Amino acid sequence: MGTPPWRINEVLERAVNGPICLEKDFDLKLLVPELKRVIKEYDISFDPISPVPSDNDLTDNLWKAAMDLYLEVGTLCTDTHRRILFTEAEMKEALGNFPGKFTLGFGRDSKEISSRQIEDPRKSFCLFSPDITCDEDLFVPMSMAYLQEPLADDVCAPILDEVEGMPIRSGFPSELKGSVAHAMMFREAARRVGRPGIFLKSVGTAESDAAQIAANNPEWGERLTDGRFVASVTELKVNNSLLNKMVHFHTYGCFVGDLTGPLLGG
């Protein structure tokens, strides 16, 4: 979120003209060796007896190892077989531009989310998410069950796997229809529980870039005050569809976050 808008062009240019790298070489000849190097160099280890350590040195070393790893490896665009690389100065610029806090949602339902420090006494921002598929007739009542919880500052909806009796398939017209239905019903659920301005995170039903874009509409769908995710491909990979989402979300003006699901060591 903190990177200035004009840097988007740099990302897109590097996705086309960065160093060439095949995906198998990226995994086996670059990522894994570099991961092993930083783990050893920064003495990163896991103690199963203490799954939530309080070692400040470990925290610092983990941060340094992550920065070192990403500077060496970067992100691979699997459609162009190019590595997107950044300099340390560019990464620090992006971090330096992060404002530290945002106001999400609108009206009486708006909430502030801010970066937290170690042992921060402030109440944490709370996301409720069923994160499961459900039948269309259960979508609104299931969403309402989460939206009406007083602790919920933000809610992510369940996922539709069919719409009006049609199975939803990624890249098919049924996905666009299902994603629009998802956005409309989620807004309706928020209205029914009396929280029309709550920060909504969507659209899980939409896997493709076209379906995510189709769900944007300030009147009945995804608003500027809502949040979206661009999910990286593990490990440290992206493709043109994901870049399409990133460009659109930024130009649309909504809140955008990265979504990752690490496999190596996870």
Residues 63-104: pLDDT tens digits?
Answer: 999 999 999 999 999 999 999 999 999 999 888 888 889 999
> Would you list the DSSP string of the chain?
--S-TTHHHHHHHHHHHS-B--HHHIIIIIIHHHHHHHHHHTT----TT-SS---HHHHHHHHHHHHHHHHHH-EEETTTTEEE---HHHHHHHHHT--SEEEES-GGG-EEEE---TT--SPPP-EE---SEE-HHHHHHHHHHHHT-TT-SEEE--EESEETTEEP-TTSHHHHHHHHHHHHHHHHHHHHTT-TTSEEE--TT--SHHHHHHTB-TTTSB-TTSEEEEEPBTTTEE-HHHHHHHHHHHHHT-EEEEE----TT-
Measure the CA–CA gap between 201 and 213, rounded to whole angstroms.
14
pLDDT in tens, 208-237: 999 999 999 999 999 999 999 998 898 999
pLDDT mean over 36-46: 93
Higher pLDDT, 202 or 6: 202
In the predicted structure, residue 6 carries a pLDDT above the cut 80: no
All structural domains of the chain with their residue ranges? 7-96, 101-225
Q: What is the pLDDT of residue 252?
A: 92
pLDDT tens digits for range 115-164: 988 889 998 999 999 889 999 999 999 999 999 999 999 999 999 999 99
What pLDDT is recorded for position 5?
52
- pTM: predicted TM-score of the whole model, two decimal places: 0.89
